[in-house]
Amino acid sequence: MIKLNQINKIFSDKHQSFHCLKDLNLEVKQGEFTVIAGPSGSGKSTLLNIIGLLDKPSSGSYEFDGQNVAKLNNNQLADIRREKIGFVFQAYNLMPVLTALENTEMIMEFCNVDKKVRRQRAMETLEAVGLGEFKNRFPAQLSGGQQQRVAVARAIAAQPLLVVADEPTANLDSHSTESLLDLMQSLNQELGVTFLFSSHDPRVIDRAHRVVHLQDGQIVKDVCTNNNDQQVAV
Amino acid sequence: MGLYIRLAWRNLLRNKKRSSVTALGITLGIGFCITTLAIMDGLSHDLITGTTQGQVGHIQVHEQDYLAKRQLQQTIENNSQVVAELRELSSVKAAAARLYSFGYLSKGNKSIGVSLLGVEPEHERQVTSLAEQIIDGSFLSQPTPWPKGQALSEEQLALDEQLTEQAIANAFAELDGLDTTSSELQSHTNELIDTLAPLPFSLPNVILGVKLAKNLQANVGDEITLLFETAQGAQQSLDLQVAGISRQGTDLIDRTRMIFHIQDLQKLLQLPNQSHEIAISTIDLNKVDLAQQVISDVLAASYPKLSVQTWSQLRPDILALIQSNQALMGTLVFIIFLIAGVGVMNAMLVSVMERRKELSLLKALGLKGPNVVWLVTIETLVLTFVASIAGLVMGVVLGSYLQKYGWDISQFGEFSLAGVGMTSALKAKLTLNNLFIPVIVMFVIALLAALYPAFSAARLLPAQGMRAS
């Protein structure tokens, strides 16, 4: 589903440039539960941004769901993000003026899904993440863990192919982390949604089927764990 | 659309203070603009009404060169026939003939130069508000009964010739320094004049301007004496009686004008069945140009020497004044809107800067640049819509009050514009244009003001925005 080939990302301004990702190659298959691990500054978020089509690589080719997306314009990328990718961010990033239910159905509304359908699907998703009774609460009225659950609900309600989660547990306590990981893992297993995390949280890494280690913009280790009955590949 | 409006509305409510201040600017801008435009329209309406009903009428007919030279002899002949033909036209509501001249008015030891105006009272009432300007006494009604003059007999003609020769001889004798005073010559001359143009049976009634009456110390019922010149150049005097005193509102007119029944003035000036002007009131002032064309066509066949003008041709200064006032007010309104527009732009720009994280999140979640522009624009439109309703209410309340009660400017003294006496209260005139033009203009300006913040928001790169957060 994801095929990165010789990806480079260079950030530069008038005075200096920074080579963030260097000749990176990566392939992710449908249904994987993969973590990109590495220390701060290793390029995890940048790689995730490129995979999630939030940023463009400086060079290299990127094939997403069979389509070469490296040369698409911003509007075309937005279309793919909206229809095929769900996002979960470290800081939850919910719309503060929308309720949990409205946040959950927001992307479906962008996609012009029928009101009845999207309302039902959003409600089911909120129930699935255990927040059905909090549907009318605004983000400020929810705990950090609950907000992140709403973010997950928002990410999966539109039934994307891929969920990109950038350090989703960084601001959560261990109970909320476990509960969130349980949730995402069950969604992965039941719905076959591909999950791609960036994290250096051992609790997340322990749950992953595959861990891609990144250091100084390069993949230094790519390990398939025995979770989910898979074999160590590398 | 529902999500956009919901987001816009709730975002506005998030920062109530900022949204309220911005909305207040728009509300005050629209409210004051509506009021200003209503006052402007009221003023224009008063100016046009004051001009047309004050004296000019909607249309006037003159001898073709009269307006340029204004000579006593430049009259409309067959006045009664011309007026009768005009009154039969469907576009003409009323027509009133007028006669003008000058004289010298005295009472006791006070003398003042006056302008004489002869009117047809019953028709003038339907053309102008002259009759309503009476503040003491009453307006004119019937002409003064006047004996008919008789032609001179052969004997009298011979006497006239003899008296003329004697007058010429006396004039030459006077040049030689001789005393030629002859009461007999004068009394015979007066007898002949009385035969030809006898004095009226009673004193003709006249209306004096309020300041003229004050300066002359004349009251209703008082006798005054007018020295005037006939169309033939003979100087005569006649005693008159003050029937009423009028206040037109313009200093010059109130200080110099004396009004006669037109038939009395025709007798005085020896201009039978003649007038200098026919003032016309049309059925519809808005179609005055059409009426002018019809009247011109009708008169052209039988009376080629007559010309027809509309009020705006007769008083281009009034039209220019109205247009310059409108331009001035337009500029003022534009400045008010510009200030409100800058306020809107500032508020939206700050709002966008504060919400970079949210806007970039929306882009990250798949909202396209144009959608973000739309989102910010809708927010501006919702704010403008709410503020416009408040502004409309404010404008309607203020405008209605000023339409009903006016704005009392009597403390500034008598007020006239371009010679048109205005009422002591400036009255507004609310129209649909006055109400909706400010709102429409405000929406356009708010939209323009929203463009920069909206495009700034649309340019946010989702990844960069998220990183900045």
Residue B420: the pLDDT is: 60
Q: Report yes or no: B455 at the A interface, CB cutoff 8 Å.
A: no
Q: In angstroms, how far is CA B438 from the centroid of its own chain?
A: 26
Q: Report yes or no: B361 at the A interface, CB cutoff 8 Å.
A: yes
Q: Taking a contact as any Cβ pair under 8 Å apart, which residues of chain B between 2 and 21 contact chain A?
A: 2-3, 6-7, 10-11, 13-14
Reduced to 3 states, what is the DSSP secondary structure of residue B332?
helix
Over the stretch B122-145, which tens digit does the pLDDT of each residue have? 999 999 988 988 999 999 989 998
Statement: residue A227 has pLDDT above 80: no
Question: CB distance A106–B365 less than 8 Å?
Answer: yes
pLDDT-above-90 percentage for chain B: 45
Q: Find the mean pLDDT for residues A147-165.
A: 90
Neighbouring C-alpha atoms within 13 Å toward the C-beta of B217: 5
Residue B469: the pLDDT is: 42
Band (A232; pLDDT cuts 50, 70, 90): very low
Residues B292 and B283: their CA atoms lie apart, in Å, by 12
Band (B148; pLDDT cuts 50, 70, 90): confident
Q: Which of B9, B13, B368 to mutate to test the interface with A (most CBs of A within 10 A)?
A: B368
A207-216, A221-230, B51-60, B356-365: least confidently modelled range: A221-230
DSSP sequence for B198-210: PPPSSPPEEEEEH
Q: Burial of B347 by CB count in 10 Å (0-12 exposed, 13-18 middle, 19+ buried)?
A: buried
Closest CA to B119 of B110, B109, B127, B111: B127
Q: In angstroms, what separates the C-alpha of A133 from chain B's closest C-alpha?
A: 22
Whether the CB-CB separation of B14 and B350 falls below 8 Å is answered with no
Q: Burial of B42 by CB count in 10 Å (0-12 exposed, 13-18 middle, 19+ buried)?
A: buried
Residues of chain B contacting A40 with CB distance shorter than 8 Å: none
Residues B131 and B139: their CA atoms lie apart, in Å, by 6
Q: Looking at the partner chain, which of B3, B368, B469 has a beta carbon nearest the beta carbon of A109?
A: B3
Q: In angstroms, what separates the C-alpha of A204 from chain B's closest C-alpha?
A: 22
Residues B431 and B68: their CA atoms lie apart, in Å, by 39
What is chain B's mean pLDDT, rounded?
A: 88
Residues B343 and A134: their CA atoms lie apart, in Å, by 39
Q: Are strands B235-246 and B205-209 parallel, antiparallel or unpaired?
A: parallel
Question: CB distance B7–A110 less than 8 Å?
Answer: no
Nearest chain B alpha carbon to A98: B7
Over the stretch A40-92, which tens digit does the pLDDT of each residue have? 889 998 999 999 999 889 999 999 999 999 788 888 999 999 999 999 888 88
Q: In angstroms, what separates the C-alpha of A234 from chain B's closest C-alpha?
A: 31
Over the stretch B431-469, which tens digit does the pLDDT of each residue have? 998 899 889 988 998 899 889 989 988 888 887 655 544
Residues of chain A contacting B370 with CB distance shorter than 8 Å: 75
Q: Report yes or no: B357 at the A interface, CB cutoff 8 Å.
A: yes
Nearest chain A alpha carbon to B12: A97
Q: In angstroms, what separates the C-alpha of B370 from chain A's closest C-alpha?
A: 9
Question: CB distance A91–B469 less than 8 Å?
Answer: yes
Q: In angstroms, what separates the C-alpha of A233 from chain B's closest C-alpha?
A: 32
Q: Model ipTM?
A: 0.88
Q: Report yes or no: B358 at the A interface, CB cutoff 8 Å.
A: yes
- Who has greater pLDDT, B59 or A168? B59
Nearest chain B alpha carbon to A102: B3
Q: Taking a contact as any Cβ pair under 8 Å apart, which residues of chain A between 80 and 119 contact chain B?
A: 81-83, 87, 89, 91, 93, 95-98, 102, 106-107, 109-111
Nearest chain B alpha carbon to A109: B3
Q: Find the mean pLDDT for residues B8-22.
A: 90
Domain boundaries, given as residue ranges, for chain A: 2-229
Residue B267, φ and ψ in degrees, nearest 5: -65, -45
Band (B192; pLDDT cuts 50, 70, 90): confident
Residues of chain A contacting B6 with CB distance shorter than 8 Å: 97-98, 102
Q: Looking at the partner chain, which of B364, B370, B467 has a beta carbon nearest the beta carbon of A81?
A: B364
Measured between its terminal Cα atoms, the distance across chain A in Å is 20
Residue B52: the pLDDT is: 86
Nearest chain B alpha carbon to A158: B365
Q: Burial of B199 by CB count in 10 Å (0-12 exposed, 13-18 middle, 19+ buried)?
A: middle
pLDDT-above-70 percentage for chain B: 95
What's chain B's length in residues?
469
Residue B466: the pLDDT is: 59
Residue A164, strand partner residues:
A87, A196
What phi-psi label fits residue B43: left (phi over 0), alpha (psi between -120 and 50 degrees) or beta?
alpha
Residue A115, φ and ψ in degrees, nearest 5: -55, -45
Q: Report yes or no: B369 at the A interface, CB cutoff 8 Å.
A: yes
Over the stretch B254-304, which tens digit does the pLDDT of each residue have? 999 999 999 999 999 989 999 999 999 999 888 999 999 999 999 998 899
Q: In angstroms, how far is CA A175 from the centroid of its own chain?
A: 21
Residues of chain A contacting B459 with CB distance shorter than 8 Å: none
Q: Burial of B455 by CB count in 10 Å (0-12 exposed, 13-18 middle, 19+ buried)?
A: middle
Q: Taking a contact as any Cβ pair under 8 Å apart, which residues of chain A between 54 and 73 contact chain B?
A: 54-55
Residue B271, φ and ψ in degrees, nearest 5: -125, 70
Closest CA to B424 of B411, B440, B437, B435: B411
Classify domain A2-229 at the CATH topology level: Rossmann fold (3.40.50)
Residues of chain B contacting A82 with CB distance shorter than 8 Å: 365-367
Q: Report yes or no: B368 at the A interface, CB cutoff 8 Å.
A: yes
